[in-house]
Amino acid sequence: MAHQSDLIASDIHAYLQSQEEKSLLRFITCGSVDDGKSTLIGRLLWDSKMIFEDQLATLTADSKRIGTQGEKIDYALLLDGLQAEREQGITIDVAYRYFSTDKRKFIVADTPGHEQYTRNMVTGASTAQVAVILVDARKGLLTQTRRHSYLVSLVGIRHIVLAINKMDLVAYDAARFAALEREYRAFAAPLGFAEITAIPISALEGDNILVRSARTPWYAGPTLMEQLETVAIADVAATQPFRLPVQWVNRPHLDFRGFAGTIAAGTIRPGDRVVVAASGRSSRVSRIVTLDGDLPVAIAGQAVTLTLEDEIDISRGDLLASADQPPEHTERCRARLVWLHEEPLVAGRGYLLKSGAATVPVSVDGLEHKVNVNTLAEEPGTGLALNEVGVARLHLDRPLAFDRYRDNRVTGSFILIDRVSNATVAAGMFEAPLAAGAEETASAVDRRRRAALKGQPPLLLWFSGRHPGASADAARAVESRLHRRGLHTALLDDARLGDGLNRDLGSDATGQEESLRRASEAARLLLDAGLIVVVSSDVPLRAVQLLLADEPLTVVNVDDDRDAASLCEAVLRQLEPLLAAKDIVSPGIIC
């Protein structure tokens, strides 16, 4: 991995010193399938001599065996790490690559162009400062080119390199290059990029990657590497209002109480006044503590520990902020969501929202509109499916401090986590707070919402039989199995009903009828709580079916030759599809 510097061999100490000033740039590459992204990154690694001889030997062997470039080296194989991807011949996940020159260290997110994997692109883009968008010179701008450009603008990337690739296949045609650049600038105008630099390249041949190509004499701009090495990432973070999400309270002994976190924006010095966004309480910074000694000043990006002059209540999830320019602090807000999961967004369903160090239960009250990522048009919609983008109204369980995403990518971003599966289901960007009461459309909490929170369908199982105790035993066995699976259940049996709710009733026909009515109503109330209700009551099942015809009822007749264990198994087997449905299900009969 020889860098170009001669200092390495001649004066390693001088070289090491020069390396201490290097900056870091994170960028992403995106484009459509076959635009040559992996080839481009492989080429950057190759040309910056980040490929070792043993890797080269493997690469050469792999190129012959499974490469797509005939006898030539297939640079894409350097990046397509996972075996499944190699077999399919496409990149399917975000891969991170590293290389450095004498000026900068680079972290590259190689992101897929495959349509259904847009979520990976948003993932890679979320930490990037620059996007390299690849366009095949022969095919021109495609749907995915537009989609990816929109998504990188959405996550706040302001610097675009439009790499018009495969110029070798259009005979290095200047007119073709100019036409594509013009078309892209027109398309991207509403996206608000600060800078678009179009470069004609051939990743395969190496034109204008590191070295200016003799085959594009008509092009006067920078090579790709020159652009990446010099693109100015205006470091505005240090001049923004101070923000520090408190990650961890450091309390080694009674005399020290420090607030550890990474500064999200601004600059801080001892003596500066900071406010706790949630409580409004404020204090002054006493010390900026690090292992290397106290600091006189710290800026955005540094991970520090602050102590304050006053003892105020601060815990993980709080946001320390500049007292002059505090963040928003509200329960209701509008945010843009990118849906990342196969299971779609269900309005009204509860999720967890993680922003900074805070995790708060949230419900998505409704969708203002969806965004067609190909045309950028706003369209009506009620839910979001995988890879869809929309603007939603959020209702948090408690007020949260945040900034608008366009002002701060750290305190303005969040993820949504499914409370049941724990999957990361959405990427979110705060847009604005909403006034309380603006939320007239919020629907009441009902059975469906309560059940959704538990991740289960409300179900009613009614066991009945002639032998005393048989139905109660079966009901308890089934309930116990459901409970072990993490489902929320309730049990009503004759003994409990008789001792309580139905204590005042006689055993005559009228009493039995009223007893059944009360048991049914109690079951309904428990269903409304979103529970799986297991009833054992030895009454005629036909009567139960009539009384509860509108409920998700399954009746079980325990007068069967089967033993208790196999009956239990049979019931559970039949319940399986109902449990998987995760919605209100139709009645059924077992046995």
Complex with other proteins: residue 364 or 417, whichever CB lies closer: 417
109 bridge partner residues: 28, 96
Cβ of residue 320: shortest distance to other proteins, in angstroms?
A: 15
Complex with other proteins: residue 111 or 464, whichever CB lies closer: 111
Cα separation, 401 vs 332, whole angstroms: 11
Cβ of residue 137: shortest distance to other proteins, in angstroms?
A: 28
Complex with other proteins: residue 407 or 473, whichever CB lies closer: 407
Complex with other proteins: residue 265 or 567, whichever CB lies closer: 265
Q: Which of 6, 292, 310, 576 binds other proteins (CB under 8 A)?
A: 292
- 207-240: buried (b, 16+ CB within 10 Å) or exposed (e) per residue? bbbbebbebbeebeebbbbbbbbebeeeeebeeb
Here's the x/- map for other proteins, 132-161, by CB under 8 A: it reads as: ------------------------------
Complex with other proteins: residue 403 or 473, whichever CB lies closer: 403
Please, what sign has the CA dihedral across residues 400, 403, 409, 410? negative
Complex with other proteins: residue 15 or 187, whichever CB lies closer: 15
- CA-wise closest residue to 135 among 59, 220, 40: 40
Cβ of residue 147: shortest distance to other proteins, in angstroms?
A: 17
Here's the x/- map for other proteins, 314-333, by CB under 8 A: it reads as: --x-----------------
Cβ of residue 335: shortest distance to other proteins, in angstroms?
A: 14
What would the two tokens of residue 318 be?
Answer: 């709080």
What would the two tokens of residue 199 be?
Answer: 């470069």
**Is residue 120 involved in binding other proteins (CB under 8 A)?**
yes
Complex with other proteins: residue 186 or 291, whichever CB lies closer: 291
Cβ of residue 107: shortest distance to other proteins, in angstroms?
A: 6
List C-alpha distances in Å: 516 to 462, 539, 541.
12, 8, 11
**Please, which of residues 246-285 interact with other proteins by CB under 8 A?**
247-248, 250-252, 256, 258, 260-262, 267
Complex with other proteins: residue 45 or 474, whichever CB lies closer: 45
What's the one-letter identity of residue 288?
Answer: I
Cβ of residue 341: shortest distance to other proteins, in angstroms?
A: 9
Here's the x/- map for other proteins, 66-95, by CB under 8 A: it reads as: ------------xxxxxxx-x-----xxxx
What would the two tokens of residue 394 be?
Answer: 């959020």
190 bridge partner residues: none
**Is residue 18 involved in binding other proteins (CB under 8 A)?**
no
- CB 153: neighbour CB atoms within 10 A? 19
- CA-wise closest residue to 563 among 478, 493, 474: 474
Cβ of residue 298: shortest distance to other proteins, in angstroms?
A: 7
**Is residue 372 involved in binding other proteins (CB under 8 A)?**
no
- CA-wise closest residue to 25 among 303, 234, 228, 299: 228
Spatial neighbors of 65 by CB under 8 A, at least 6 apart, are: none
**Is residue 361 involved in binding other proteins (CB under 8 A)?**
no
**Please, which of residues 160-189 interact with other proteins by CB under 8 A?**
none
* DSSP tag of 242: P
Q: Which of 33, 34, 60, 107 binds other proteins (CB under 8 A)?
A: 107
User: Which window, 215-223, 276-284, 290-298, 529-537, contacts other proteins (CB under 8 A)?
Assistant: 290-298
User: Which window, 46-54, 142-150, 164-172, 531-539, contacts other proteins (CB under 8 A)?
Assistant: 46-54
Complex with other proteins: residue 9 or 220, whichever CB lies closer: 9
Cα separation, 82 vs 72, whole angstroms: 22
Given a contact cutoff of 8 angstroms between Cβ atoms, the answer to whether 457 and 581 are in contact is yes
Number of residues in the chain: 591
- If binding means CB under 8 A, how many residues of this protein chain bind other proteins? 88
Complex with other proteins: residue 169 or 299, whichever CB lies closer: 299
Complex with other proteins: residue 12 or 179, whichever CB lies closer: 12
Q: Tell me which long-range contacts 87-93 makes (C-beta under 8 A, separation of at least 24).
A: 90/33, 90/114, 91/37, 91/38, 92/117, 92/120, 93/117, 93/120
Complex with other proteins: residue 98 or 218, whichever CB lies closer: 98
Helices (H) and strands (E) in the chain, counts: 15, 27
Cβ of residue 105: shortest distance to other proteins, in angstroms?
A: 4
Cα separation, 394 vs 347, whole angstroms: 10
**Is residue 291 involved in binding other proteins (CB under 8 A)?**
yes
Q: From start to end of 167-272, where are the E strands?
A: 195-200, 243-245, 248-250, 258-262, 267-268
Cβ of residue 406: shortest distance to other proteins, in angstroms?
A: 15
The label of the residue with tokens 């009515």 reads 517
96 bridge partner residues: 109
What would the two tokens of residue 17 be?
Answer: 């010193």
**Is residue 354 involved in binding other proteins (CB under 8 A)?**
yes
User: Which window, 4-12, 160-168, 370-378, 580-588, contacts other proteins (CB under 8 A)?
Assistant: 4-12
**Please, which of residues 403-442 interact with other proteins by CB under 8 A?**
409-410, 413-415, 417, 422-424, 427
Cα separation, 86 vs 564, whole angstroms: 52
Q: Which of 235, 378, 521, 559 binds other proteins (CB under 8 A)?
A: 235
**Is residue 21 involved in binding other proteins (CB under 8 A)?**
yes
Q: Which of 34, 60, 114, 127 binds other proteins (CB under 8 A)?
A: 127
The values of phi and psi at residue 489, to 5°, are -125, 165
The values of phi and psi at residue 20, to 5°, are -70, -15
Complex with other proteins: residue 6 or 504, whichever CB lies closer: 6
Complex with other proteins: residue 237 or 364, whichever CB lies closer: 237
Cβ of residue 400: shortest distance to other proteins, in angstroms?
A: 14
Spatial neighbors of 485 by CB under 8 A, at least 6 apart, are: none
Complex with other proteins: residue 292 or 504, whichever CB lies closer: 292
Burial of 90 (0-12, 13-18, 19+ CB in 10 A): middle
What would the two tokens of residue 332 be?
Answer: 């209701």
Q: Which of 122, 131, 160, 452 binds other proteins (CB under 8 A)?
A: 122
The values of phi and psi at residue 338, to 5°, are -110, 120
What would the two tokens of residue 217 be?
Answer: 């004499």
* DSSP tag of 82: S
Here's the x/- map for other proteins, 444-483, by CB under 8 A: it reads as: ----------------------------------------
